[in-house]
Amino acid sequence: MAVIHHTTLSPTKLELLARWLPAQPWYAGDGAAPDLTTAGGFRLDDPEGEVGMEFMVATDTSGAAPVRYHVPLTYRGAPLPGADHALIGTLEHGVLGKRWAYDGTHDPVLVAQLFALLTGQAEAHAQSVSDTLDPTVRARLMGTGHSAVQAPAAVTQSPSATDILVRSTRPLLLRVHRVLTPDESDGGSTTGHISATWTEGPGERVRGVFLTVREGA
């Protein structure tokens, strides 16, 4: 299970995201720099123990109303070849040293484990506690006999989501919802989805859909 090191980060994850978010097509800000806090999320384990994976919910309070962004992140001890376009930035970890932080939708390790979560071959872990599962994360994928996926076949952006095309027994489109709203529905998908919780206000936990699955091309 994931080991969480409670140590220093320079810059912090939120500082990295504050620089990166305004350039994304799904950023809802009006040009002002985001003012971010962590509102929730979960982690997945790399079977090889090399890549850290986090699905972070970051709340931006710089505008008239708070916006909750969903950012899948991977942390690596060396650059991911061919992924300069997905690099969010580098940081110094107090225990692990220099780490490269990526938009995880482009990272083959995260995509493979995300699909494993959908098929019941992986479990979600608590965001900030070592060796602890997160039972609030719910995942399902209709059908049986799905083969494992090794890397995204294509990644495309939209004003509200990132679409990851994967090839299992049939092509599937994993739609990563980037702006979260409290909603238990799966957006009309009959193929699958992942939902999880975050903090909406003082003492208030809400659930929303982080990812939906539909047939791909």
Q: Is residue 88 part of a domain?
A: yes
Element (H, E) at 140: strand 138-141
Q: Is residue 3 part of a domain?
A: no
Kindly give, in sequence order, each residue whose CB lies less than 8 Å from that of residue 91, ignoring residues fewer than 6 positions away.
Answer: 9, 10, 11, 12, 13, 16, 98, 99, 101
Q: Is residue 2 part of a domain?
A: no
Kindly give, in sequence order, each residue whose CB lies less than 8 Å from that of residue 64, ignoring residues fewer than 6 positions away.
Answer: none
Q: Is residue 53 part of a domain?
A: yes
Q: Is residue 52 part of a domain?
A: yes
Q: Is residue 36 part of a domain?
A: yes
What is the span of the domain harbouring residue 54?
A: 9-215
- Number of domains, the chain: 1
Q: What are phi and psi of 23, to 5 degrees?
A: -90, 0
Q: Maximum CA pair distance of the chain?
A: 47
Q: In tens digits, what is the pLDDT along the chain, a chain of 217 residues?
A: 566 656 677 799 999 999 999 999 999 988 778 999 999 999 999 999 999 999 999 999 998 899 999 999 999 999 999 999 999 999 997 777 799 999 999 999 999 999 999 999 999 999 988 889 999 999 999 887 788 887 888 999 999 999 999 988 889 999 999 999 998 676 566 789 999 999 997 879 999 999 999 987 6
Q: Is residue 66 part of a domain?
A: yes
Q: Is residue 56 part of a domain?
A: yes
Instruction: Give strand pairing partners of 2.
Output: none
